[in-house]
């Protein structure tokens, strides 16, 4: 194998595993309804970049996703920027009280919600609820 090919293959091996990981979608109006209509299980994360609680939740979410790839394979994660959409139609319709709120939806059903909780067991339980719904 030539040195250039070896370097390319080595770089690809480092890049591909991360590339295969599903990144959360960024919310735009209509996205939630579109994805629910497609039959997807949604995990909504109402967050702000400056929010310490949101960052703590994100660290837990990332650890749990890394430990169980089935979460990202079966659940659609959507990040909703509180600064941009905190007064929007979705927040009003769902009665979201504040940033750092996590919600799981299937169709027109809310399966679970955490408001400002950062405990790993609590967040794992919500993610497991979403996964169970996706696998049913």
Which pTM value belongs to this model? 0.84
Reference 95, options 84, 110, 81; nearest CA is 110
Whole-angstrom CA distances from 68 to 63, 83, 87 are 9, 30, 34
Q: What number is the average pLDDT over the span 110-135?
A: 98
Half-sphere exposure of 57 (CA within 13 A, CB side): 26
Phi and psi, residue 54, nearest 5°: -60, -40
Q: Which residues contact 24 (CB under 8 A, 6 or more apart)?
A: 45, 77, 78, 79
- Pure H helices in 26-119: 31-37, 52-67, 70-74, 82-85, 89-94
Tokens 């067991």 -> residue: 121
Domains and CATH numbers, the chain: 22-135 (3.40.30.10)
Structure confidence by residue, pLDDT tens digits, 33-61: 999 999 999 999 999 999 999 999 999 99
């Amino acid at each position: 194998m030539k040195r250039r090919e070896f370097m390319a293959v080595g770089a690809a091996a480092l890049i591909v595993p991360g590339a295969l990981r599903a990144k959360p979608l960024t919310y735009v109006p209509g996205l939630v309804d579109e994805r629910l209509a497609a039959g997807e299980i949604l995990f909504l994360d109402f967050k702000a970049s400056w929010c310490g609680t949101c960052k703590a939740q994100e660290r837990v979410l990332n650890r749990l996703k890394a430990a169980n790839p089935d979460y990202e394979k079966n659940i659609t994660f959507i990040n909703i920027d509180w600064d941009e959409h905190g007064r929007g139609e979705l927040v009003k319709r769902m009665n979201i009280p504040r940033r750092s709120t996590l919600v799981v939806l299937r169709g027109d059903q809310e399966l679970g919600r955490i408001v400002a909780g950062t405990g790993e067991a609590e967040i794992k339980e919500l993610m497991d609820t979403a996964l169970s719904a996706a696998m049913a």
